[in-house]
Chain A
Amino acid sequence: MNEIYNPNPTILKTAGKRGTRASSGLWDLDEGLAGGCGLCDDHSVSESIDQNEVFDLVRFITDPEHKHMTLEELMVVSAPQCSVSNETNRVLIEFTPTVPHCGMSTVIGLTLRVRLLRALPNRFKVDIRVKPGSHQSENELNKQLNDKERVAAALENPALLIVLEECLESAQNRVRGHAHQ
C-alpha cells in the first residue's frame, strides 16, 4: 500500500442521497415519518431486494487509498452498476476502478464481496467484476475476485482483514443512519 495509485481521483459532487426515491402513492401521509422506522404493521407487504438496496449496502464503503471518501463519491459504484435477480438469485456488481492501473482494485473488489457476504441472504450467488474496459488487467482481476478459494484464503490474512474492516466501517454506520431516517 506504499505506492499511491491515484493521488487525485475525480469525485462525484451530488453523492449521499438514498438510492430509493420517496414512494409516490395516491396519498401523501405523514405516518411514514412518524412511525419511527416507518412500518405500517401490515404483515402482507413484501419488498424484494432490488438494485437500490444492494447499492445502499456498498455505496458508503470507503476507498482503501482515500479513507475519507466513499466508493460512491469516487464513482467506483453506482446503482446501475449493481444488478439483482430474485428469480435466479444472482447479484452482479461491476465496479469502476478510479484509474485503469489501480492496484487497489483487488482490495476494493474484496470489500464489496465481504460486505455482500455479510449483508445478503445466502441464496444469492454474487459475482464481482470490474466494468469492461475500466482496468488494464481486467480478466486477471475478475478471475481472482471470483475464485472463491482465493477469496477464502485472503479473508484468513489478518493484515488484509484489518484494511477491509476499516473500509467497511462507514458502510455499516451510514446504512444504519438510513435504517432510521
Chain B
Amino acid sequence: MLRRSVERMAARKSARQYWRSLAWQLAVVAAALLVMAWMAVNAVESLQRQHIASGFDFLNETAGFGILQTSVHYTEESSYGRVLLIGIINTIIVAVISIVLATVLGFLIGIGRLSMNWLVSKVCAAYVETLRNIPLLLQILFWYFGVLEALPYPRNSVRVGEGLFILNNRGLYLPLLQSESGAWLVWGALTIGVAAALALRSWAVRKQMATGVRPATTGMVFGILLGLPALALAATGIPFSLNWPHLDGLNFDGGLHIFPELAALAVALATYTAAYIAETVRAGLQSVSRGQREAAAALGLKPSLAVRLVLIPQAMRVIVPPLASEYLSITKNSSLAIAIGYPELVSVFAGTVLNQTGQAIEVITITMGVYLALSLLTSLLMNWYNSAQAMRGE
C-alpha cells in the first residue's frame, strides 16, 4: 500500500519535472529565435540604410564566370543558383571519395597499430603521430604542389593509346562512357540485377544459419547480375558511346577529366583523417575484452579471421559514433580547397558569388545551411547504420 503511493508520488513528481524542463527548453528556444529574428531585422535594416543589396533574388541572376569542374550542365550564362548546386556537388564528390579512402586506410592503420609485428605497429603509430600533428592546410598544399611537381607538361604527357589514358600536370584524362537514349533501361536492369542478387545472398545466408547448409546460388547470382543488363543492352542496341579525350588548342579536351586539385585534396583529406580514424579503430578494438580474442583463438580461427569475424563486429559499436564525426570533419575540412582552387561550395559560392554580389549575409547563411544539412544527413546515415549494427549484435 505504502509502496504504491510512494511510487505514484514519484511518478507524479517526475511528470512534473518533465513538464517543467520541457517548458524551460521551449522558453530557451523561443528566446534564441527571438534574438535571431531581431538580429536579422537589424541586419536587413542596416543593409538597406547602407544601400547594400539584400534578399535572395540574386540566385536567379546570371553568374558570368567559369568554373573548373562541373558535373552538371553549366555555362557562364547559368545562374548563381546553379553555381550553388555545382558547389554542393563538388563538395560531395570530394567528401565521398575522401571518406571511402580514409575509412579503408584508417582501418588498416588502426588494426596495424595493434599488430603483433613490431615494425608494422611502430610504422602505424608513427603515421598517426605525424599526420595528426601537421596542420591540414599544409598537407593539402604539400600534396598539391607535390603532385604538380611530379607530373609532366602536356607536351610530355604519359600516354597509353590515342586517348585511353593521358596523364599530365593538367590532370588525368580517360575515355568517358556516355549514355544515349534508351540507356536508362540498361541502368534500370543493372539496378534490379544488383538488388535481386543481394536479396538472393541474404536468403542464402539465412538458410545457412537455419540449416547449416548454404544453398548454391553463385550461378544464379551471376546470371541475374549479368543476364538482365545484357538483355537490356541487346534490346536497346547498346545505347552507349565513348567520348575520347583529344588534343584541342593548348590542352586535351573531352573524355573524363580528373583534376589535380581534386586528387590532391582527396588524398590530403583522406590521409589526414585516416590518422584519426585509426585511433578510433584502435580504441574500438581495445574495448573488446581479451577473452573474446582468446576464445576466437581457442576455436582455432586464424588471427585475420578472428579480427574480421569476432573483434571488428563487436568493436564497431564503439567505433561508429566517433567515425560519424570524422566524416563530418572531412566534409567541413574540404572547404580548405579554396587555397588550391578546387571549386567546392566555399570556393565558388562563399567566395566568388559572395564577392560578385556582395551579399555576404545571405551567401554565408545559405552556405552554413548546406553544411548543416550535409552534417545532419551524415549523422542520420551513421545513426541508422549504428542502430542496425547494435541490433544485429543483440
- Does chain A bind chain B? no
